[in-house]
């Protein structure tokens, strides 16, 4: 397993080119091209803003103003997370031809999926930055230094899940249908469109069990809330857990590796 | 001598899942509590059984065998794409597998970008691809299209680009699976030249192909796989020869079964006039092309009054043994056993040979050859002996008939018998006259490449 991990590092050139290809191919032929990376989260933001400001006004506490900014802090990383998982669930089957005919480490494929979506996330950051500046968000360098750490934790955690999902979907095709429902549920079970503080006592305990809660709260504390970054203990604990998830995911992937060429 | 590839006692068992597994889903597996059991195969299918072979460095090694004999599995195992169930494989040096050309090309992006990604996927570094890029494009003959998206390529262009990338990976061991049939004639020659170059440079090539001529010309050693077993190994001519005769035997069995089936089908129907053919059309197999139309339109069948019956038809080889496979230029005898239910004095025997396209290659009868019938009674035997069967490689069908001189049939067997003519030469046409080439002193040719 460790040897295989080293091999993955050796194939970083391939990962790099494939990520570039993924990004190029995705918007090739569309008029707006790369701008979709910006437009998609913007549209999503618009919908939620509309729902919570016009359709359901007065359902949120005062501390959440400007609400659009609060939500944007969460939606952007969530999009990275959920589309990574959805795509990687399908990636081995979609590339069945490659796996059957070309010798290369299959884990490259889910890794590329997660990384390509991460680049999309990065492309959305300038918009978030513009929002932050526009609303005069309370940013401090000390807090912003934590931002890459949150991204890293999310990356490792997502990679672990992506490996598990891609490997299992080869054997259970309907996993990806279950997954899209699971992700919708997960989205609402994570404080993205509502703040952690709104959850009642028991609910908060439950939310604490959700790893994505801590990722999102970290983003919100760094970018949105005033005051020092107080969630770092949770974040570091999650980081350790993410590494464990990644290793477990890689272990599972490695165990199922030999079956891919026959099953896809 | 060092071995570049060493495969020892490799068995590969594929799982074969039953219908239940195919439609099973995670949900149903969980609901019925059979998750673990569903992951287990119902049945297994051995693609390779205890296969061992080794290839010396610099050798070109061929694998032949029928479809489904495990050739591609063997190649994939050597390539490391699948793992053997038991046994071990050792390969030395960089391996490049030409199993499917252009696997991994992304249709939306340009040929240029695909070359880079494909090259990296096959084990080159970015810089190595850049260094070979021009050569690859030139080899694929795609200079004008390299910046167009691959989805706009013709299938030939796609394959050529895939081949060009794979061959420029510069492997120590090249695995080739039936991919030489890409591109036009000229490109095929270029590929073969590239293989020769590989051999000259002492690279190892493992070649899986159905083109036996290629195997004989290129390979130093050949392995014949038959249903996953190692059937024979060694000198190309010997192994290919053995393989070809085994294929012929199997074909003969198949043809015999087919002939029996055709006979059965028509014997079941009562003696009748031909459905639409006029008596004169169903008459003698016309040796001339005066009135061939009806002849060609008539399909297989049997008709006639059966006053005289052809009870048995056999094709005999040189040794007098019934068979269905004949070599070009070998003798063949058509033996008819006839039974006259009442004595007759007006009868003509005819035979006709047709190729697979329905073209009459030859037809004659006793009347045309001015043999005057006198009397036929009881059982008899008629033999039509062909000194040399100078036909090209292919499948042929046979008409046999006995009829009156005015053409009214007693028993007409239309295209009911099939035989194959095999030839080691891939010449074309129908007729292969005995021939020789002569060259004057200034014209020099030599035998095929060793």
Tens of pLDDT along chain B (450 residues) come to 578 899 999 998 887 665 445 545 666 666 665 555 555 556 678 888 899 999 988 888 999 988 888 888 888 888 888 888 899 999 888 888 877 777 778 888 888 988 988 888 888 888 889 999 999 999 888 888 999 988 898 888 888 888 888 888 888 888 888 766 666 777 888 888 888 888 888 889 888 888 888 888 888 999 999 888 888 888 888 888 888 888 888 888 888 888 788 777 766 655 554 444 444 444 444 433 333 344 444 567 788 888 999 998 999 988 888 888 888 989 999 999 999 998 999 999 999 999 888 888 999 999 999 999 999 989 999 999 999 999 998 889 899 999 999 888 999 988 888 888 888 787 888 888 989 898 888 888 887 754
Residue A28 to residue B126, Cβ atoms within 8 A: no
Number of Cβ atoms within 10 Å of the Cβ of B397: 20
| Residue of A12, A28, A29, A103 for testing the chain B interface, max B β-carbons within 10 Å | A103
Cα dist from B83 to A256, B15, B25, B80, B86, whole Å = 12, 13, 27, 6, 9
Closest CA to B110 of B64, B49, B177, B157: B157
Residue B103 to residue A97, Cβ atoms within 8 A: yes
Q: Is A94 on the interface with B (CB under 8 A)?
A: no
Closest CA to B64 of B261, B287, B230: B230
What digits encode the pLDDT tens for the residues B304-358? 888 999 998 999 988 888 888 888 989 999 999 999 998 999 999 999 999 888 8
| Residue of A101, A112, A179 for testing the chain B interface, max B β-carbons within 10 Å | A101
Burial class (CB in 10 A: 0-12, 13-18, 19+), B22: exposed
Given a contact cutoff of 8 angstroms between Cβ atoms, the answer to whether B308 and B410 are in contact is yes
Q: Is A258 on the interface with B (CB under 8 A)?
A: yes
Residue A258 to residue B83, Cβ atoms within 8 A: yes
Angle at CA of residue A74, ends A94 and A246, nearest 5°: 50
CA trace torsion B187, B193, B199, B200 (10° rounding):
-150
**Token code pair at residue B326:** 């004949």
Give the distance between the most distant pair of CA atoms in chain A. Answer: 58
pTM, rounded to two decimals? 0.71
Residue A17 to residue B80, Cβ atoms within 8 A: no
* Among A70-79, A192-201, B283-292, the least confident range: B283-292
Given a contact cutoff of 8 angstroms between Cβ atoms, the answer to whether B380 and B335 are in contact is no
Minimum Cα–Cα distance from B104: chain A residue: A98
Minimum Cα–Cα distance from A263: chain B residue: B15
Asked if the ipTM is above 0.85, the reply is no
Residue B259's φ and ψ, nearest 5 degrees, are -60, -40
Minimum Cα–Cα distance from A21: chain B residue: B109
Closest CA to A122 of A19, A212, A244: A19
Bridge partners for B8 per DSSP: B88
DSSP at B412: E
Q: Are strands B409-422 and B301-303 parallel, antiparallel or unpaired?
A: antiparallel
Residue A172 to residue B25, Cβ atoms within 8 A: yes
Tokens 């020659």 locate to: B189
Residue A14 to residue B120, Cβ atoms within 8 A: yes
Contacts of B83 in chain A (CB under 8 A): 258
**Token code pair at residue A128:** 């978030």
Given a contact cutoff of 8 angstroms between Cβ atoms, the answer to whether B332 and B389 are in contact is yes
Q: Is A185 on the interface with B (CB under 8 A)?
A: no
How high is the mean pLDDT of chain B?
82
Q: Which residues of B touch A (CB under 8 A)?
A: 14-15, 25-27, 29, 39, 76, 79-83, 95, 97, 99-100, 103-104, 106, 108-109, 113, 116-117, 120-122, 125-126, 149
What digits encode the pLDDT tens for the residues A168-194? 998 888 888 899 999 999 998 999 888
Q: Is A209 on the interface with B (CB under 8 A)?
A: no
Question: Which of B15, B26, B95 is closest, CB to CB, to A262?
Answer: B15
**Token code pair at residue A9:** 């590092």
Residue A261 to residue B25, Cβ atoms within 8 A: no
């Amino acid at each position: 397993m460790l040897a295989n991990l080293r091999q993955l590092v050796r194939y970083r050139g391939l990962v790099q080119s494939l990520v570039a290809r993924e990004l190029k191919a995705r918007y090739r032929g569309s008029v707006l091209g790369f701008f979709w990376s910006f437009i998609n989260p913007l549209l999503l933001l618009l919908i939620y803003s509309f729902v919570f400001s016009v359709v359901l006004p007065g359902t949120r506490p005062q501390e959440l103003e400007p609400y659009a900014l609060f939500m944007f802090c969460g939606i952007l990383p969530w999009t990275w997370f959920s589309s990574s998982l959805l795509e990687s669930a399908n990636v081995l089957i979609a590339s069945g031809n490659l796996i059957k005919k070309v010798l290369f480490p299959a884990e490259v494929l889910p890794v590329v999926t997660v990384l390509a979506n991460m680049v999309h996330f990065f492309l959305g950051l300038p918009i978030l930055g513009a929002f932050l500046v526009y609303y005069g968000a309370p940013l401090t360098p000390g807090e912003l230094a934590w931002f890459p750490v949150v991204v890293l934790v999310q990356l490792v955690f997502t990679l672990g899940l992506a490996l598990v999902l891609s490997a299992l979907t080869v054997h259970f095709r309907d996993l990806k249908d279950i997954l899209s429902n699971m992700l919708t549920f997960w989205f609402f079970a994570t404080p993205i469109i509502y703040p952690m503080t709104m959850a009642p006592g028991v609910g908060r305990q439950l939310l604490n069990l959700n790893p994505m809660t801590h990722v999102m709260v970290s983003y919100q504390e760094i970018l949105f809330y005033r005051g020092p970054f107080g969630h770092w203990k949770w974040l570091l604990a999650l980081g350790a857990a993410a590494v464990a998830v990644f290793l477990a995911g890689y272990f599972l992937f490695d165990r199922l590796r030999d079956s891919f060429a026959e099953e896809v | 001598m060092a071995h570049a590839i060493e495969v020892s006692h490799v068995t590969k068992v594929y799982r074969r899942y039953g219908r239940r597994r195919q439609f099973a889903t995670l949900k149903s597996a969980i609901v019925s509590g059979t998750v673990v059991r569903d992951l287990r195969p119902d049945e297994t299918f051995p693609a390779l059984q205890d296969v061992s072979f080794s290839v010396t460095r610099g050798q070109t090694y061929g694998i032949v065998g029928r479809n489904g004999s495990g050739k591609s599995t063997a190649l994939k195992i050597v390539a490391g794409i699948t793992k053997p169930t038991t046994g071990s494989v050792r390969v030395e040096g960089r391996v490049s597998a030409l199993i499917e050309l252009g696997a991994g090309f992304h249709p939306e992006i340009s040929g240029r970008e695909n070359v880079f990604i494909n090259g990296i996927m096959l084990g080159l570094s970015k810089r190595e691809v850049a260094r070979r890029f021009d050569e690859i494009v030139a080899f694929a003959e795609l200079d004008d299209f390299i910046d167009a998206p691959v989805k706009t390529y013709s299938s030939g262009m796609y394959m050529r680009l895939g081949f060009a990338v794979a061959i420029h990976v510069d492997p120590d061991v090249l695995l080739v699976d039936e991919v030489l049939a890409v591109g036009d004639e000229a490109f095929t020659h270029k590929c073969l030249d590239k293989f020769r170059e590989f051999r000259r440079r002492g690279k190892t090539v493992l070649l899986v192909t159905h083109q036996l001529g290629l195997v004989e010309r290129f390979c130093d050693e050949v392995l014949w796989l038959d249903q996953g077993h190692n059937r024979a190994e060694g000198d190309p001519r010997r192994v290919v020869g053995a393989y070809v005769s085994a294929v012929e035997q199997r074909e003969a069995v198949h043809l015999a079964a087919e002939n029996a089936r055709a006979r059965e089908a028509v014997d079941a129907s009562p003696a009748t006039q031909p459905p639409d053919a006029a008596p004169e059309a169903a008459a003698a197999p016309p040796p001339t092309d005066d009135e061939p139309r009806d002849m060609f339109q008539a399909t297989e069948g049997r008709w006639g009054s059966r006053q005289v019956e052809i009870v048995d038809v056999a094709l005999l080889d040189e040794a007098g043994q019934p068979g269905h496979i004949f070599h070009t230029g070998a003798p063949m005898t058509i033996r008819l056993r006839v039974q006259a239910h009442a004595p007759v004095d007006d009868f003509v025997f005819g035979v006709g040979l047709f190729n697979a396209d329905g073209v009459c290659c030859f037809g004659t009868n006793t009347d045309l050859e001015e043999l005057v019938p006198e009397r036929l009674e009881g059982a008899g035997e008629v033999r039509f002996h062909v000194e040399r069967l100078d036909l090209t490689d292919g499948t042929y069908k046979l008409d046999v008939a006995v009829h009156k001189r005015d053409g009214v049939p007693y028993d007409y067997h239309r295209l009911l018998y099939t035989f194959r003519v095999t030839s080691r030469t891939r010449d074309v046409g129908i007729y292969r006259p005995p021939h020789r080439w002569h060259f004057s002193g200034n014209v020099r040719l030599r035998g095929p490449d060793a």
